[in-house]
Structure 1
Amino acid sequence: MRIEIICSDDRHPVRPYLDRWQCRHATAHEVAIVNTPAQLTGGDILFAISCSDILRPHHRSLFLQSLIIHASDLPCRRGWSPHIWAILEGETRITVSLLTADDPVDSGLIFHQESFHVTKADTLEQINAKLFEAEILLMDWAVVNINSAVPRQQAGEPTYCRRRTPDDSRLDPEQSIAAQFDILRLADSKRFPAFFDLHGHRYALALTRTGTAEDENR
Protein backbone atom coordinates (compact mmCIF):
# COMPACT_ATOMS: atom_id res chain seq x y z
CA MET A 1 0.00 0.00 0.00
CA ARG A 2 1.25 3.48 -0.85
CA ILE A 3 0.50 6.07 1.84
CA GLU A 4 1.25 9.78 1.88
CA ILE A 5 0.97 12.06 4.90
CA ILE A 6 0.71 15.81 4.51
CA CYS A 7 1.75 17.90 7.51
CA SER A 8 2.27 21.58 6.78
CA ASP A 9 4.90 22.47 9.39
CA ASP A 10 7.95 20.36 10.20
CA ARG A 11 8.11 22.19 13.54
CA HIS A 12 4.66 20.99 14.53
CA PRO A 13 4.89 18.76 17.64
CA VAL A 14 3.01 15.97 15.85
CA ARG A 15 5.85 15.51 13.38
CA PRO A 16 7.98 13.15 15.56
CA TYR A 17 4.91 10.94 15.97
CA LEU A 18 4.45 10.84 12.20
CA ASP A 19 8.12 10.02 11.66
CA ARG A 20 7.85 7.10 14.08
CA TRP A 21 4.63 5.92 12.40
CA GLN A 22 6.39 6.04 9.03
CA CYS A 23 9.27 3.93 10.35
CA ARG A 24 6.92 1.42 11.99
CA HIS A 25 5.02 0.84 8.74
CA ALA A 26 7.98 1.03 6.38
CA THR A 27 8.38 -2.72 5.98
CA ALA A 28 4.74 -3.32 5.00
CA HIS A 29 3.90 -0.09 3.15
CA GLU A 30 5.47 2.71 1.18
CA VAL A 31 5.02 5.83 3.33
CA ALA A 32 6.01 9.40 2.44
CA ILE A 33 5.58 12.62 4.41
CA VAL A 34 5.20 15.93 2.55
CA ASN A 35 4.54 19.55 3.51
CA THR A 36 2.47 20.94 0.64
CA PRO A 37 -0.24 19.68 -1.74
CA ALA A 38 2.09 20.33 -4.68
CA GLN A 39 4.38 17.56 -3.37
CA LEU A 40 1.65 14.89 -3.42
CA THR A 41 2.23 12.12 -5.95
CA GLY A 42 -0.70 9.79 -5.26
CA GLY A 43 -1.37 6.37 -3.86
CA ASP A 44 -3.84 4.38 -1.79
CA ILE A 45 -4.29 6.59 1.29
CA LEU A 46 -3.64 10.25 1.99
CA PHE A 47 -3.63 11.36 5.63
CA ALA A 48 -3.94 15.10 6.27
CA ILE A 49 -2.48 15.68 9.74
CA SER A 50 -2.18 19.26 11.03
CA CYS A 51 -2.46 20.43 7.45
CA SER A 52 -3.16 24.15 7.00
CA ASP A 53 -3.75 23.84 3.23
CA ILE A 54 -7.11 23.04 1.68
CA LEU A 55 -6.97 19.82 -0.30
CA ARG A 56 -8.62 20.52 -3.65
CA PRO A 57 -10.46 17.86 -5.67
CA HIS A 58 -7.48 17.37 -8.00
CA HIS A 59 -5.27 16.62 -4.97
CA ARG A 60 -7.76 14.16 -3.54
CA SER A 61 -8.25 12.44 -6.88
CA LEU A 62 -4.67 11.19 -6.68
CA PHE A 63 -5.67 8.76 -3.90
CA LEU A 64 -8.19 6.00 -3.37
CA GLN A 65 -8.91 7.46 0.06
CA SER A 66 -8.15 11.00 1.23
CA LEU A 67 -8.58 11.21 4.99
CA ILE A 68 -8.52 13.99 7.56
CA ILE A 69 -8.10 13.64 11.31
CA HIS A 70 -10.00 16.35 13.16
CA ALA A 71 -10.04 16.84 16.95
CA SER A 72 -13.77 17.25 17.52
CA ASP A 73 -17.02 15.31 17.53
CA LEU A 74 -18.12 16.55 14.13
CA PRO A 75 -20.09 18.43 12.98
CA CYS A 76 -19.38 20.34 16.20
CA ARG A 77 -16.35 22.62 15.89
CA ARG A 78 -15.35 22.39 12.29
CA GLY A 79 -12.37 24.59 11.53
CA TRP A 80 -9.20 25.47 13.39
CA SER A 81 -7.76 24.03 16.64
CA PRO A 82 -11.10 22.60 17.80
CA HIS A 83 -9.74 20.81 20.86
CA ILE A 84 -8.07 24.00 22.13
CA TRP A 85 -11.33 25.94 21.85
CA ALA A 86 -13.15 23.06 23.54
CA ILE A 87 -10.77 23.04 26.52
CA LEU A 88 -11.00 26.82 26.84
CA GLU A 89 -14.78 26.36 27.03
CA GLY A 90 -14.41 23.87 29.88
CA GLU A 91 -14.73 20.53 28.10
CA THR A 92 -12.67 17.64 29.48
CA ARG A 93 -13.43 14.83 26.99
CA ILE A 94 -12.10 15.35 23.48
CA THR A 95 -13.28 13.28 20.52
CA VAL A 96 -11.01 12.82 17.50
CA SER A 97 -12.62 11.96 14.15
CA LEU A 98 -11.28 10.18 11.08
CA LEU A 99 -13.21 11.42 8.04
CA THR A 100 -13.03 11.77 4.30
CA ALA A 101 -11.59 14.99 2.88
CA ASP A 102 -14.44 16.81 1.20
CA ASP A 103 -15.92 20.21 0.37
CA PRO A 104 -16.67 22.22 2.37
CA VAL A 105 -13.79 21.62 4.79
CA ASP A 106 -14.47 19.15 7.64
CA SER A 107 -17.81 18.08 6.17
CA GLY A 108 -16.80 14.59 5.07
CA LEU A 109 -18.06 11.15 6.05
CA ILE A 110 -16.88 9.85 9.43
CA PHE A 111 -15.15 6.46 9.47
CA HIS A 112 -14.05 6.11 13.08
CA GLN A 113 -13.46 8.07 16.29
CA GLU A 114 -11.23 7.95 19.35
CA SER A 115 -11.45 10.05 22.50
CA PHE A 116 -9.30 11.11 25.43
CA HIS A 117 -9.71 12.88 28.76
CA VAL A 118 -8.08 16.19 29.68
CA THR A 119 -7.53 17.18 33.32
CA LYS A 120 -7.34 20.74 34.61
CA ALA A 121 -3.65 20.12 35.38
CA ASP A 122 -2.66 19.03 31.88
CA THR A 123 -0.39 21.39 29.99
CA LEU A 124 -0.16 21.49 26.19
CA GLU A 125 2.59 18.88 26.32
CA GLN A 126 0.34 16.32 28.02
CA ILE A 127 -2.67 17.27 25.89
CA ASN A 128 -0.65 16.92 22.68
CA ALA A 129 0.62 13.51 23.72
CA LYS A 130 -2.94 12.27 24.27
CA LEU A 131 -4.15 13.84 21.03
CA PHE A 132 -1.32 12.50 18.90
CA GLU A 133 -1.69 9.01 20.36
CA ALA A 134 -5.38 9.12 19.37
CA GLU A 135 -4.41 10.25 15.87
CA ILE A 136 -1.92 7.39 15.54
CA LEU A 137 -4.64 4.93 16.61
CA LEU A 138 -6.92 6.30 13.90
CA MET A 139 -4.19 6.00 11.28
CA ASP A 140 -3.53 2.41 12.32
CA TRP A 141 -7.25 1.69 12.17
CA ALA A 142 -7.50 3.14 8.67
CA VAL A 143 -4.67 1.03 7.28
CA VAL A 144 -6.43 -2.14 8.44
CA ASN A 145 -10.10 -1.23 7.91
CA ILE A 146 -10.49 1.53 5.34
CA ASN A 147 -11.30 -0.76 2.41
CA SER A 148 -14.12 -2.55 4.25
CA ALA A 149 -15.52 0.09 6.60
CA VAL A 150 -18.73 1.99 5.82
CA PRO A 151 -18.55 5.66 6.84
CA ARG A 152 -21.50 7.63 8.21
CA GLN A 153 -22.84 11.06 7.50
CA GLN A 154 -22.33 13.84 10.03
CA ALA A 155 -25.54 14.48 11.95
CA GLY A 156 -26.63 17.80 13.37
CA GLU A 157 -26.03 21.48 12.83
CA PRO A 158 -22.34 22.33 12.35
CA THR A 159 -20.47 24.86 14.45
CA TYR A 160 -17.20 26.50 13.49
CA CYS A 161 -13.91 27.55 15.11
CA ARG A 162 -11.86 30.47 13.89
CA ARG A 163 -8.14 30.19 13.32
CA ARG A 164 -6.13 31.01 16.43
CA THR A 165 -3.63 33.86 16.27
CA PRO A 166 -0.60 34.74 18.43
CA ASP A 167 -2.79 37.29 20.23
CA ASP A 168 -4.86 34.43 21.66
CA SER A 169 -1.82 33.70 23.86
CA ARG A 170 -1.80 37.21 25.34
CA LEU A 171 -1.85 37.46 29.15
CA ASP A 172 -2.96 40.40 31.29
CA PRO A 173 -0.21 41.26 33.80
CA GLU A 174 -2.86 42.73 36.12
CA GLN A 175 -4.66 39.39 36.46
CA SER A 176 -3.63 36.36 38.48
CA ILE A 177 -1.97 33.25 37.05
CA ALA A 178 -4.93 31.17 38.23
CA ALA A 179 -7.38 33.36 36.32
CA GLN A 180 -5.38 32.93 33.11
CA PHE A 181 -4.08 29.42 33.60
CA ASP A 182 -5.94 27.94 30.64
CA ILE A 183 -4.40 30.53 28.29
CA LEU A 184 -0.96 29.85 29.73
CA ARG A 185 -1.16 26.06 29.64
CA LEU A 186 -2.58 25.92 26.11
CA ALA A 187 0.02 28.22 24.52
CA ASP A 188 2.61 26.64 22.24
CA SER A 189 5.84 27.81 23.87
CA LYS A 190 7.88 27.29 20.67
CA ARG A 191 5.56 28.66 18.00
CA PHE A 192 2.98 30.83 19.81
CA PRO A 193 4.24 31.45 23.37
CA ALA A 194 2.14 33.08 26.06
CA PHE A 195 3.20 36.70 26.50
CA PHE A 196 2.36 39.97 28.16
CA ASP A 197 3.28 43.60 27.58
CA LEU A 198 4.61 45.68 30.51
CA HIS A 199 6.77 48.79 30.92
CA GLY A 200 7.11 49.18 27.18
CA HIS A 201 8.44 45.65 26.62
CA ARG A 202 7.01 42.27 25.66
CA TYR A 203 7.76 39.21 27.78
CA ALA A 204 7.21 35.58 26.74
CA LEU A 205 6.45 32.78 29.18
CA ALA A 206 6.81 29.02 28.95
CA LEU A 207 5.03 26.59 31.29
CA THR A 208 6.44 23.22 32.34
CA ARG A 209 4.77 20.80 34.71
CA THR A 210 7.49 19.43 36.97
CA GLY A 211 5.49 17.33 39.44
CA THR A 212 2.88 17.67 42.17
CA ALA A 213 2.87 20.10 45.07
CA GLU A 214 3.25 17.10 47.39
CA ASP A 215 6.46 16.11 45.57
CA GLU A 216 7.95 19.55 46.22
CA ASN A 217 7.14 19.35 49.95
CA ARG A 218 8.88 16.03 50.54
Structure 2
Amino acid sequence: MKVTIICSDSIHPVYPYLEQWIKQNIKSHDISIYSSITDIEKGGDILFLISCTEIVKKPIRDMFRYTLVLHASDLPEGRGWSPHIWDVINGKDTLILSLLNAEDGVDTGDIWQKRYISLDGSELYEEINHKVFEAELELMSWACENIDDSKAKKQDTQSSTADYHRKRTPEDSRLSLDNSIEEQFNLLRVCDPKRFPAYIIRNGQRYNIKLEKVNDE
Protein backbone atom coordinates (compact mmCIF):
# COMPACT_ATOMS: atom_id res chain seq x y z
CA MET A 1 0.00 0.00 0.00
CA LYS A 2 1.00 3.60 -0.54
CA VAL A 3 0.60 5.25 2.86
CA THR A 4 0.90 8.94 3.74
CA ILE A 5 0.97 10.26 7.31
CA ILE A 6 0.29 13.84 8.37
CA CYS A 7 1.46 14.84 11.85
CA SER A 8 1.37 18.61 12.27
CA ASP A 9 4.12 18.89 14.88
CA SER A 10 7.43 17.06 14.54
CA ILE A 11 8.12 17.59 18.25
CA HIS A 12 4.78 16.07 19.26
CA PRO A 13 5.43 13.05 21.53
CA VAL A 14 3.69 10.74 19.04
CA TYR A 15 6.25 11.50 16.34
CA PRO A 16 8.94 9.02 17.48
CA TYR A 17 6.26 6.33 17.59
CA LEU A 18 5.32 7.10 14.00
CA GLU A 19 8.96 6.92 12.98
CA GLN A 20 9.17 3.54 14.71
CA TRP A 21 6.08 2.30 12.85
CA ILE A 22 7.49 3.48 9.52
CA LYS A 23 10.76 1.67 10.18
CA GLN A 24 8.90 -1.54 10.98
CA ASN A 25 6.62 -1.34 7.93
CA ILE A 26 8.70 0.33 5.23
CA LYS A 27 9.47 -2.99 3.52
CA SER A 28 5.77 -3.81 3.23
CA HIS A 29 4.40 -0.39 2.29
CA ASP A 30 5.44 2.79 0.49
CA ILE A 31 5.25 5.28 3.41
CA SER A 32 5.72 9.06 3.56
CA ILE A 33 5.29 11.41 6.52
CA TYR A 34 4.70 15.17 6.35
CA SER A 35 3.89 18.01 8.73
CA SER A 36 1.33 19.69 6.44
CA ILE A 37 -1.13 18.73 3.73
CA THR A 38 0.57 21.30 1.50
CA ASP A 39 3.54 18.91 1.31
CA ILE A 40 1.46 16.18 -0.30
CA GLU A 41 2.42 15.77 -3.97
CA LYS A 42 0.72 12.49 -4.84
CA GLY A 43 -2.24 10.52 -3.59
CA GLY A 44 -2.30 6.89 -2.63
CA ASP A 45 -4.17 4.26 -0.68
CA ILE A 46 -4.32 5.58 2.88
CA LEU A 47 -3.85 9.05 4.35
CA PHE A 48 -3.47 8.87 8.14
CA LEU A 49 -4.14 12.06 10.10
CA ILE A 50 -2.28 11.70 13.41
CA SER A 51 -2.35 14.69 15.76
CA CYS A 52 -3.15 16.76 12.70
CA THR A 53 -4.38 20.29 13.40
CA GLU A 54 -5.45 21.01 9.81
CA ILE A 55 -8.91 20.47 8.38
CA VAL A 56 -8.37 18.21 5.38
CA LYS A 57 -10.92 19.12 2.73
CA LYS A 58 -12.49 16.78 0.19
CA PRO A 59 -10.14 17.59 -2.73
CA ILE A 60 -7.21 16.27 -0.68
CA ARG A 61 -9.20 13.33 0.68
CA ASP A 62 -10.20 12.37 -2.85
CA MET A 63 -6.54 11.81 -3.68
CA PHE A 64 -6.63 8.73 -1.42
CA ARG A 65 -8.82 5.67 -1.24
CA TYR A 66 -9.10 6.17 2.52
CA THR A 67 -8.43 9.19 4.72
CA LEU A 68 -8.37 8.05 8.33
CA VAL A 69 -8.27 9.81 11.68
CA LEU A 70 -7.20 8.35 15.03
CA HIS A 71 -9.19 9.97 17.81
CA ALA A 72 -8.92 9.01 21.48
CA SER A 73 -12.57 8.98 22.50
CA ASP A 74 -15.67 6.82 22.31
CA LEU A 75 -17.20 8.72 19.40
CA PRO A 76 -19.61 10.45 19.07
CA GLU A 77 -18.75 11.30 22.69
CA GLY A 78 -15.65 13.45 23.05
CA ARG A 79 -15.22 15.04 19.65
CA GLY A 80 -12.72 17.87 19.40
CA TRP A 81 -9.40 18.46 21.08
CA SER A 82 -7.34 16.26 23.42
CA PRO A 83 -10.20 13.95 24.42
CA HIS A 84 -8.14 11.45 26.40
CA ILE A 85 -6.61 14.28 28.43
CA TRP A 86 -10.07 15.53 29.39
CA ASP A 87 -11.12 11.95 30.20
CA VAL A 88 -8.21 11.40 32.60
CA ILE A 89 -8.84 14.75 34.29
CA ASN A 90 -12.47 13.70 34.72
CA GLY A 91 -11.42 10.47 36.42
CA LYS A 92 -12.00 7.87 33.71
CA ASP A 93 -9.97 4.66 34.00
CA THR A 94 -10.71 3.40 30.47
CA LEU A 95 -9.75 5.34 27.35
CA ILE A 96 -11.20 4.50 23.95
CA LEU A 97 -9.40 5.04 20.66
CA SER A 98 -11.45 5.29 17.46
CA LEU A 99 -10.28 4.82 13.87
CA LEU A 100 -12.64 6.76 11.61
CA ASN A 101 -13.04 8.33 8.20
CA ALA A 102 -12.12 12.00 7.90
CA GLU A 103 -15.03 14.23 6.88
CA ASP A 104 -15.66 17.98 6.65
CA GLY A 105 -17.42 17.79 10.03
CA VAL A 106 -14.74 17.29 12.67
CA ASP A 107 -14.74 13.73 14.09
CA THR A 108 -18.06 12.85 12.44
CA GLY A 109 -16.93 10.12 10.03
CA ASP A 110 -17.83 6.45 9.97
CA ILE A 111 -15.90 4.30 12.45
CA TRP A 112 -13.80 1.31 11.44
CA GLN A 113 -12.42 0.08 14.73
CA LYS A 114 -12.13 0.96 18.41
CA ARG A 115 -9.54 -0.02 20.99
CA TYR A 116 -9.94 0.05 24.77
CA ILE A 117 -7.06 1.25 26.94
CA SER A 118 -7.11 0.47 30.66
CA LEU A 119 -5.56 2.77 33.26
CA ASP A 120 -4.90 1.93 36.90
CA GLY A 121 -4.84 5.56 38.02
CA SER A 122 -1.09 5.76 38.66
CA GLU A 123 0.11 6.45 35.11
CA LEU A 124 1.76 9.77 34.45
CA TYR A 125 1.83 11.74 31.20
CA GLU A 126 4.42 9.69 29.32
CA GLU A 127 2.93 6.38 30.45
CA ILE A 128 -0.56 7.44 29.33
CA ASN A 129 0.87 8.57 26.00
CA HIS A 130 2.67 5.27 25.56
CA LYS A 131 -0.53 3.29 25.95
CA VAL A 132 -2.46 5.57 23.60
CA PHE A 133 0.28 5.73 20.96
CA GLU A 134 0.83 1.97 20.96
CA ALA A 135 -2.89 1.52 20.34
CA GLU A 136 -2.67 4.06 17.50
CA LEU A 137 0.11 2.09 15.82
CA GLU A 138 -1.94 -1.08 16.23
CA LEU A 139 -4.89 0.51 14.45
CA MET A 140 -2.66 1.85 11.68
CA SER A 141 -1.39 -1.68 11.07
CA TRP A 142 -4.93 -3.03 11.21
CA ALA A 143 -6.02 -0.54 8.54
CA CYS A 144 -3.18 -1.43 6.19
CA GLU A 145 -3.94 -5.13 6.51
CA ASN A 146 -7.73 -5.28 6.79
CA ILE A 147 -9.53 -2.16 5.63
CA ASP A 148 -10.28 -3.43 2.11
CA ASP A 149 -12.13 -6.40 3.61
CA SER A 150 -13.97 -4.46 6.33
CA LYS A 151 -16.89 -2.07 6.62
CA ALA A 152 -17.14 1.10 8.67
CA LYS A 153 -20.13 1.89 10.88
CA LYS A 154 -21.90 5.22 10.92
CA GLN A 155 -21.86 7.30 14.08
CA ASP A 156 -25.11 7.99 15.86
CA THR A 157 -25.41 11.61 14.79
CA GLN A 158 -28.54 12.05 16.91
CA SER A 159 -26.89 10.70 20.03
CA SER A 160 -27.26 12.79 23.16
CA THR A 161 -23.66 11.88 24.05
CA ALA A 162 -22.19 13.82 21.13
CA ASP A 163 -20.13 16.70 22.48
CA TYR A 164 -17.02 18.70 21.57
CA HIS A 165 -13.97 19.37 23.71
CA ARG A 166 -12.31 22.74 23.36
CA LYS A 167 -8.63 23.09 22.60
CA ARG A 168 -6.49 23.04 25.73
CA THR A 169 -4.18 25.98 26.43
CA PRO A 170 -1.10 26.34 28.69
CA GLU A 171 -3.38 27.97 31.26
CA ASP A 172 -5.16 24.64 31.67
CA SER A 173 -2.01 23.34 33.39
CA ARG A 174 -2.35 25.85 36.22
CA LEU A 175 -3.01 24.40 39.67
CA SER A 176 -5.07 26.10 42.32
CA LEU A 177 -3.44 27.05 45.61
CA ASP A 178 -6.80 26.55 47.29
CA ASN A 179 -7.28 22.92 46.27
CA SER A 180 -5.46 19.86 47.58
CA ILE A 181 -2.98 17.77 45.60
CA GLU A 182 -5.44 14.90 45.78
CA GLU A 183 -8.14 17.02 44.17
CA GLN A 184 -5.75 17.99 41.36
CA PHE A 185 -3.83 14.75 41.00
CA ASN A 186 -5.38 13.80 37.65
CA LEU A 187 -4.50 17.21 36.24
CA LEU A 188 -0.91 16.74 37.43
CA ARG A 189 -0.83 13.35 35.71
CA VAL A 190 -1.65 14.71 32.25
CA CYS A 191 0.45 17.88 32.16
CA ASP A 192 3.21 17.66 29.56
CA PRO A 193 6.34 18.38 31.65
CA LYS A 194 8.21 19.76 28.64
CA ARG A 195 5.63 21.64 26.57
CA PHE A 196 2.83 22.44 29.04
CA PRO A 197 4.11 21.84 32.59
CA ALA A 198 1.88 22.08 35.63
CA TYR A 199 2.42 25.29 37.56
CA ILE A 200 1.21 27.55 40.31
CA ILE A 201 1.33 31.31 40.68
CA ARG A 202 2.02 32.62 44.18
CA ASN A 203 2.51 36.30 44.99
CA GLY A 204 2.91 37.03 41.29
CA GLN A 205 5.65 34.43 40.80
CA ARG A 206 5.16 31.37 38.60
CA TYR A 207 6.53 28.00 39.76
CA ASN A 208 6.56 24.95 37.49
CA ILE A 209 5.75 21.63 39.12
CA LYS A 210 6.95 18.22 37.95
CA LEU A 211 5.38 14.98 39.14
CA GLU A 212 7.78 12.05 39.09
CA LYS A 213 7.38 8.44 40.18
CA VAL A 214 9.85 7.04 42.68
CA ASN A 215 10.09 3.26 42.98
CA ASP A 216 11.06 2.07 46.43
CA GLU A 217 13.75 -0.58 46.44
Normalising by the residue count of structure 2, what TM-score does the alignment of the two structures yield?
0.94
Provide structure 1 residue ranges, at least 5 long, that are not aligned to the other structure.
Answer: none
Percent identity, aligned pairs only, is 44
Deviates more, 1:22-31 or 1:169-178: 169-178
Equivalences for 1:72-151 in 2 at 5 Å?
72-151=73-152
Equivalences for 1:1-218 in 2 at 5 Å?
1-41=1-41, 42-155=43-156, 156-157=159-160, 158-211=162-215, 215=216
Equivalent residues, number: 213
Could you give the per-residue CA deviations for residues 40-76 of structure 1, whole angstroms, max 9, x where no partner exists?
2321100001111111112211111000000011000
Could you give the per-residue CA deviations for residues 3-46 of structure 1, whole angstroms, max 9, x where no partner exists?
01111111111111000000111111111111111112321100
1: CA distance, partners of 2:182 / 2:92 = 18
Q: Which amino acid aligns with 2:35?
A: N
Displacement of 1:175 in angstroms is 3.1
Q: Which amino acid aligns with 2:33?
A: I
Provide structure 2 residue ranges, at least 5 long, that are not aligned to the other structure.
Answer: none
2: CA distance, partners of 1:70 / 1:47 = 11
What stretches of structure 1 move > 4 A for 4+ residues in a row? none
2: CA distance, partners of 1:150 / 1:94 = 23
2: CA distance, partners of 1:198 / 1:160 = 33
Q: Retained in 1: the 8 A contact 2:173–2:197?
A: yes
2: CA distance, partners of 1:120 / 1:23 = 32
Could you give the per-residue CA deviations for residues 150-205 of structure 1, whole angstroms, max 9, x where no partner exists?
10001223111111111110012343322211111110111111111113211112
* Matched residue SS, 1:136: helix
2: CA distance, partners of 1:163 / 1:191 = 15
2: CA distance, partners of 1:132 / 1:8 = 16
Q: Which amino acid aligns with 2:153?
A: R
1: CA distance, partners of 2:13 / 2:130 = 9
